[in-house]
Structure 1
Amino acid sequence: MYKGTVTKKLECIIHLIYWILIFYFTFVKNPIGRQFSVPDLFLCTYFIVFIITFYFNYLIVMKTVFKTFKWKRLFGGVFVSYLVFTFLRFFFEQIVTKLLFDKVNYTDVNFLNYMLDNLHYSSMAIILSSFLWFVIYSIRLLEYNKLILEENKNTEIKFLKAQINPHFVFNTLNNIYSMVYFQSDKSLVAIDKLSKIMRFTTYESQKEKIKLSDEVDYIKAYIELEQLRHQENVRVALNVEIKNEFEEIPPYILSPLVENALKHGEVSDSEPIEIQLKVSSEKLIFRVKNKIGTQKKDSLGGIGLDNLQKRLQIHYPEKHQIKITNDENHFTAELEIDLK
């Protein structure tokens, strides 16, 4: 996960310094002569309302506005913060102080005048909190964008290097050579499957996103070619339920989990590799389960789990979850992506 220079701890320190400065310039008249302003009742209530409005705008309004920025949402958020300030000030200075101290700040409350007066007083809390939030947000955004550019470069290099496993290609070509030499009727099928895989790794993988059906076709071709290579001893139970086959995903998001299972899994008729893909309009769930080979360590190969997680973080930030379960006999990888 991304951690920039402005951490939560540093953000809290910035806020602490900010409030020290606010109170210093408000209450300290002459620091050398040790002259201080003594706050009266309504200055205290004002600061209470100021602080509550400040953090209401900072923690709720600004985050909501910039989640998906729209000018209407910005003006609406500012107006809500203004209403919160006005309501809280009326509550504390006209109701609470009346009950506790038998005092009110506005002796003659005219609705229009009261709203206009608080438009002035609320502006300071709203403007300062918005400014502070935007400064911190901008720093984090600039750092994150820089990180993303660097991660994209590094991931692309790793991704391109790992697109084709040379051992897989060499072994497959050797098997096809043997098939052709012995005039096997499966040789043409094997060549066709290999050409589909090579076409996918050469062209489709260069795209930012591809159709989900293309990724599934690549997985099927990979499985069938493995079955041909191993004389169909590779048993795979593939279950695909896709509501919209034209749904787009980044290439090689699903296939590394399958490649890992085929590389490290031990298969039999009773315990085949189980692959389940279920895609709705809102969610993608991909699950791969295989029996662990007796002398094989099960860990993601190909582009690797670390590389896969980085790509998921880039394409689906806070919208994905990958679970790896490794019990005594079985290895299970489950990927869940929020497509909304």
Structure 2
Amino acid sequence: MMYKSTLSVKKEIALHLLFWVIWVYFTLAVVDANGIHFAEMDLFSSTWCITYVVTFYVNYLFVLPKVFHPFKWIKAIAGLVVIFLFFAALRYFLEQFLTVQLFNVQNYNPGTGILYYIYDNTFYAARPIILSSAFWLIVLLVRLLDYNKYIIEEQKNTEIKFLKAQINPHFVFNTLNNIYSMVHFQSPNALPAIEKLSSIMRFTTYEAPRNFIRLGEELNYIHAYLELEELRHYDKSFVSWETTVQSDNHEIPPYLLSPLVENALKHGSYTAEIPIIIRLSCNDQQLDFEVINRIGNQKKDKLGGIGIDNLKNRLEILYPEKHTLQTTEQEGLFSAHLVIYFQ
């Protein structure tokens, strides 16, 4: 996605017009008993205004971009000297040369020393230089904040895509291992397993790339994954579901719940007598998902691996301070409990 600042050139021009309207009001307008009217402009008031505006934009368009690309103090000092000399030289040209040629008048008396001229113009030059610098820095700050927000968003999207890319092969790898075992032992469940794998691949291809999917789609994916395990173990009763879902149309990121189920299948020990317990409740306020399994005898159950680690990272990105993920071990049982707060 190409970066496009919210502060467009048109908006910047509009800000300049607003600035000059305000400047004219506070500089040239006179408020008295007769209302608001503009002070009469004599010749040297006009030349001063011209010098002011030209200096403002020379500093804004040329000096400041050079000074801050990249910023160095020596460049800042040099830029300040240059723009001041520009102001003094332009004013001298307009008021000590051009007006003499056109109207035979000049602003400063003949014989005015150069040191006094520079000293006197220090005060007059300060206003356009300070105002143009402040205006330019404000515009720069707005654009930097806008760009920083864009970069953070892009980093978030990039990290999420990377995490998804890690998760997808992990699920496929486990599933293919299961099917390989069935084919090797010539199990009649091999073809149904391939059908379930096809369902998983459809999810991976069409649903997983999306940022959010319906809760029902995630649950369908989990069911397909569990059915593959059932086919491999020839056991259809090692999972106990307890669900209270007001609506499965709530939108969640893909692969949000499945890593907890996969963790139980990978590290747990399960039978029909002591099944994996999956509890799910969901309403408008929160989603509550818990997976409980017996800890395997030969492999310690833990909240680890690519899928779970990625889940923790994604939760930090997608639901900062709006989720809890807790794991407990008690009496030989392992529990992973995820709560997401929608409000």
TM-score, normalized by length of structure 1? 0.53
Are the aligned partners of 1:163 and 1:303 in contact in 2 as well (CA < 8 Å)?
no
Partner of 1:49: none
Helix, strand or coil for the counterpart of 1:305? helix
Partner of 1:241: 244
Assess, with a 3 A threshold, how the Cα gap between structure 1 residues 221 and 141 changes in structure 2: closer, same or farther.
same
Aligned ranges 1:31-180 → 2 under 5 Å: 146-165=151-170, 166-178=172-184
Aligned ranges 1:1-340 → 2 under 5 Å: 146-165=151-170, 166-178=172-184, 181=186, 184=188, 186-232=189-235, 235-301=238-304, 303-340=306-343
Q: How far off is 1:302 after superposition? A: 5.4
CA deviations over 1:132-161 (Å, ceiling 9, x no partner):
xxxx99999976764453243233213212
Assess, with a 3 A threshold, how the Cα gap between structure 1 residues 140 and 240 changes in structure 2: closer, same or farther.
farther
Q: Which runs of 4+ in 1 moved over 4 A?
A: 136-145
Are the aligned partners of 1:242 and 1:280 in contact in 2 as well (CA < 8 Å)?
yes
Amino acid at match of 1:338: Y
Helix, strand or coil for the counterpart of 2:335? strand
Out of 190-199 and 232-241, give the one that drifted further. Answer: 232-241
**Rg (Cα) greater in structure:** 2
Are the aligned partners of 1:265 and 1:291 in contact in 2 as well (CA < 8 Å)?
yes
Aligned-residue Cα RMSD (Å) equals 2.8
Amino acid at match of 1:266: S
CA deviations over 1:46-84 (Å, ceiling 9, x no partner):
xxxxxxxxxxxxxxxxxxxxxxxxxxxxxxxxxxxxxxx
Partner of 1:95: none
Are the aligned partners of 2:284 and 2:342 in contact in 1 as well (CA < 8 Å)?
yes
Give the distance between the partners of 1:176 and 1:197, measured in 2 at CA. 17
Amino acid at match of 2:168: Q
Percentage identity across paired residues of the two chains:
41
TM-score, normalized by length of structure 2? 0.53
